Amino acid sequence: MAQSESPFCDLELRLFQRTDLGYPVEITLAGQQEFPRRYAPLELAEWTPGTDLAADGQRLRDLLLSDGDLRSAWAQASGQAPRRRIRLRLDRAAPELHALP
């Protein structure tokens, strides 16, 4: 691997202000490949963590990716880039999501 290459690929998830359909989510892989916008459920804002960090991460991921198309985009990105650096970006207009760990 060349020294300028990173062993990780950036996977960005952007969550926007809620709509009647839920929270719009956009996924971008390596700043180039964009997946179609889909929606996370409104229940995402009501999620509260427990005491087990690993279980919390699983529950949060499962809720965030409960939409089948979002789950497919995640799986496709995972297959293309097994080592990902995940960046979660929350819209300023969705302050109720800012409490997510």
At 9 the pLDDT is 86
Taking a C-beta distance cutoff of 8 angstroms, is the pair 10, 31 a contact?
yes
At 94 the pLDDT is 95
At 18 the pLDDT is 95
At 5 the pLDDT is 57
At 86 the pLDDT is 85
Which residue positions in the chain have pLDDT lower than 70?
Answer: 1-6
If you search the block for the tokens 């965030």, which residue do you land on? 64
Write out pLDDT tens, residues 47-72. 888 899 999 888 888 888 888 888 88
Taking a C-beta distance cutoff of 8 angstroms, is the pair 13, 86 a contact?
yes
Tokens representing 72?
Answer: 């497919």
d(CA 81, CA 35): 14
pTM of the model: 0.80
If you search the block for the tokens 């690929």, which residue do you land on? 9
Residue whose C-alpha is closest to residue 83's, from 3, 5, 4, 2? 5
Sign of CA dihedral 51, 57, 63, 64: positive
